[in-house]
Amino acid sequence: MDREAALALCRGKTRKETTLRHLISVEGVMRALARRFGEDEDLWGLTGLFHDLDQDVTGEDGVGHAEVAAGWLREAGVDERVINGVLAHAFPEYRTDRMSRAIVHADAVAGLLVAAALVRPERASGMKVSSVRKKLKERAFAPGVNREEILGVEEGIGLPLEEFLAVAIEGLQAVAPEIGL
Ligand SMILES: [Fe+2]
């Protein structure tokens, strides 16, 4: 599935603009991580783009989250590796390879980066690792962001935290114009 078709599917399945922007931000981070590891950028990007596809349907209680999305994606003929990655962000038993572990860290860091960008006049542009580290320590800032999923990145995918943040910032910046950042 090419990116245009993937985005059209996201637009069709999401109801909130914030959900769509979140999907694109995680896509950006996943693409940058794939580049860093010499992996398949499109496959990793699709996993980011689709990971919360059913967010606006499954709602706050989270029942069926990721499983509903997996069903839609299967119907649409999306690569099983992407579907596994989507399931992996919600269910640890699917975290079977680097991509399916990376989505957990990408999801969390994208949340932090978007929140950090929103409080800067220049948004994502010129964002520094050091300032993101500060926001990471400031637990009252974006309290919904799971810090452990960011801090565990080296254990998860073998990337030191500093480098992960740098790669993630670059990934967010690549999609920033699309999401108003
Ligand atoms: Fe997410």
Ligand 1 centroid distance, CA of 111 (Å): 8
For residues 140 and 76, give the distance between their C-alpha atoms in angstroms, rounded to a whole number.
Answer: 40
Ligand 1 centroid distance, CA of 98 (Å): 17
Provide the residue ranges of all domains of the chain, joining segments of one domain with +: 3-178
Cβ atoms of 21 and 28 within 8 Å: the answer is: no
For residues 52 and 108, give the distance between their C-alpha atoms in angstroms, rounded to a whole number.
Answer: 12
The whole-number pLDDT of residue 68 equals 97
Cβ atoms of 49 and 27 within 8 Å: the answer is: yes
Ligand 1 centroid distance, CA of 70 (Å): 14
Assigned fold of 3-178 = Hypothetical protein af1432 (1.10.3210)
Q: 63: pLDDT confidence band, cut at 50, 70 and 90?
A: confident
Ligand 1 centroid distance, CA of 50 (Å): 9
The whole-number pLDDT of residue 10 equals 98
Give the list of residues 6+ apart from residue 118 with CB closer than 8 angstroms, or none: 181
Q: Is the pLDDT of residue 59 over 90?
A: no
pLDDT tens-place string over residues 84-135: 999 999 999 999 999 999 999 999 999 999 999 999 999 999 999 999 999 9
Q: Is the pLDDT of residue 3 over 80?
A: yes
Cβ atoms of 9 and 53 within 8 Å: the answer is: yes
